[in-house]
Structure 1
Amino acid sequence: MKTLSLLAATAAALSLATPALAQGDRDKSQDFNGPYIGVSGGYTVQPNDGRETLIFDTNQDGSFDDSVNTSTGDNAFAPGFCGGAATGTANLDCRNDKDGFEYFARAGYDKRMGNFVLGAVIEGGRSEVRDSVSGFSGTPASYTMSREADWQAGARLRAGYTPGGGVLFYATGGGAFAKLDNRFTTTNAVNSFADNGKTNAWGYSAGGGAEAMLTDKISLGLEYLYTDLKDDDYVVNVGAGSAPATNPFLQNGTGTDIKRSNDSLRTHSVRATLNLRF
């Protein structure tokens, strides 16, 4: 529902974008032509709750398709999983993932050819979203993986149409990168746990928007952006700790590796842009 609301809000705002913002006696022939710097800020939601689980590699062969079983052959994670952060040791009332604000700095260049505009933009900043998944063992114990971006960057092309200057309507798409801060928490005090913390995530962004010239040098815009980042490098290794040899995580005698079943961090963003053109 949040995603649909954002899309609807973006569509409505774009439809209301009007050349009236850019009217006057000024020369519009050079609108959206040349370099610019700017900032953007808005709100981001991430539809990652879904049916995500934790997945396990009990023989550490690199294939995460194993079950963690007790000494009697039962599934140690029979209580199941939830798409959020655990609030206790039972699979109940998991905390929802966090949506939040975002803020970026950007620089770009546009080339106007009649009423058509081709350009490129690079940007860097961060969003405040947090995406978690939790698993529950029959011990009982909880195991939660969370990820959020320390910072993000993107490089995109854009193509648009301006009806005589004043306002530009455009589509945009390109590569995206994030330095992710991955965290693992558990109520299991018997086994040992080691992880690789921060990871690099690569992906793409695509969307569109509208931009209106307020003066010869300053433009104000509204943009929607969908981003998909691939995060498949984060692994938690479960070791023996003080656990006995019959511990479910020690089926191969050395330990078990844990990952998230969903290796993509997906977000929908609606942001305002403010640019200074040269």
Structure 2
Amino acid sequence: MKSTIAILLLGTVLAPAAVSAADLSVPLPAPAPIPAPTPMARWTGLHLGAGAGIASTKLSMSNRSVLDFYWDCAGPGPCQTNRYGSSGSTDGRSVFATLDIGYDVQIDRFVLGLGANVDLSNGAGGKVSVDKSVPGIPFPNGSAFQGSGHVGNGMTAYVRGGVLVTDTSLLYALGGYSVATAKLDGRFGAGDTSLFYLWSGGVRGRASATLSGPTVGVGFEQMLTDRVSLKLEYRYTDLGGLTATGKTSSGNCNCYVFTARSRTQMDVTTQSVRAVLSYRFDL
């Protein structure tokens, strides 16, 4: 009897342990897989691009001219000097194609880069005409001053820096230095043939040069694929100025001899917008 009771008590004690051991042998469910993070677009590397844009070019012109009148019998110096000044501006529109190359480095959420581009333009030009006469010296047959200018192809070297708005979109600012070809034609007394019977079309000065100056801008670039991006950009460029000078002298007419000197200055600023499609190399 006692042994039977002992066996029952031992079974009561060992039964929960056996159940627990059985529970431990059941495999636990596998943990749910953690989704892999979406990789960030890789902005580091070389990129080549091509695009087009529209430019508005402001040509600001000023003219300073001097007329010295001599009497044949009055000695070496002029007996009268007249000085004339005028100014005006005009805007020219142009379209251009652009080729762009650069290299970017991504640092966390920031992108820094170096680049250069060539703009091939149909040219922006315009004319300035001032009809005001010199006091006491009329210009009945034409304008006192006429100027025309033209700005052609250019190129820019730049640095840029921006922040990633999303993994595939970049907002940036840029600064650089630009050069562009320019021409200037300035005339004082243009078209007038009546002044002292000897004025033959006025004093003309021509000049051509490569202008240069700083460029600043802002832009937005969007990754379309892992290799192709599209950027939209605004730029402002100050190309400095160009000067054209001219000089002429009359013969003797009723004891009058005069010389005329003319200096025309043209300052050039440009605002442009462009769209550039780029291919990015994994370098």
Is 1:125 paired with 2:131?
Answer: no
Q: Which residue of 2 aligns with 1:44?
A: 55
Q: Which letter maps to 2:244?
A: V
1:28 is aligned, of 20, 40, 63, to 40
In 2, Cα distance between equivalents of 1:198 and 1:139: 28
Mapped contact 1:132–1:145 kept (Cα < 8 A): yes
2:275 is aligned, of 258, 272, 275, to 272
Distance 1:74 1:160, change over 3 A: same
Aligned-pair distance for 1:243?
8.3
Distance 1:183 1:29, change over 3 A: same
In 1, Cα distance between equivalents of 2:119 and 2:238: 16
Q: Which letter maps to 2:101?
A: A
Q: Which residue of 2 aligns with 1:231?
A: 241
| Cα displacement string for residues 62-86 of structure 1 (whole angstroms, at most 9, x for unaligned residues) | xxxxxxxx98766666xx55434xx
Correspondences of 1:194-273 after superposition (within 5 Å): 195-232=205-242, 234-240=243-249, 246=256, 250=259, 255-260=260-265, 263-273=266-276
Aligned-pair distance for 1:222?
0.8
Mapped contact 1:53–1:134 kept (Cα < 8 A): no
Two-structure CA RMSD over aligned residues (Å): 3.1
Runs of 4+ in structure 1 deviating by more than 4 angstroms, as ranges, are 70-77, 191-194, 241-248
Partner SS state of residue 116, structure 2 = strand
Mapped contact 1:230–1:265 kept (Cα < 8 A): yes
In 2, Cα distance between equivalents of 1:226 and 1:276: 25
What TM-score, normalized by structure 1, do the two folds share?
0.67
Partner SS state of residue 222, structure 1 = strand
Q: Which residue of 2 aligns with 1:187?
A: 191
Q: Which letter maps to 2:45?
A: G
Q: Which letter maps to 1:187?
A: G
Q: Which letter maps to 2:233?
A: E
Correspondences of 1:63-142 after superposition (within 5 Å): 81-84=87-90, 97-127=91-121, 128-136=123-131, 137=133, 138-140=138-140, 141-142=142-143
Q: Which residue of 2 aligns with 1:158?
A: 160
The percentage of counterpart residues that share the same residue type is: 24
| Cα displacement string for residues 227-260 of structure 1 (whole angstroms, at most 9, x for unaligned residues) | 000123x213131266868466x1xxxx413122
Distance 1:76 1:182, change over 3 A: closer
Matched positions, count: 219
Asked which structure has the greater CA Rg, the reply is 2
The higher-RCO structure (CA 8 Å, 6+ apart) is: 1
Is 1:169 paired with 2:171?
Answer: yes
Aligned-pair distance for 1:275?
1.0
Question: Unaligned regions of 5+ residues in structure 2, if any?
Answer: 1-36, 69-77, 194-199
Structure that is richer in strand per residue: 2
Question: Unaligned regions of 5+ residues in structure 1, if any?
Answer: 1-24, 60-69, 85-96
Distance 1:111 1:209, change over 3 A: same
| Cα displacement string for residues 119-168 of structure 1 (whole angstroms, at most 9, x for unaligned residues) | 01101114432243334443233332222223111101000111452111
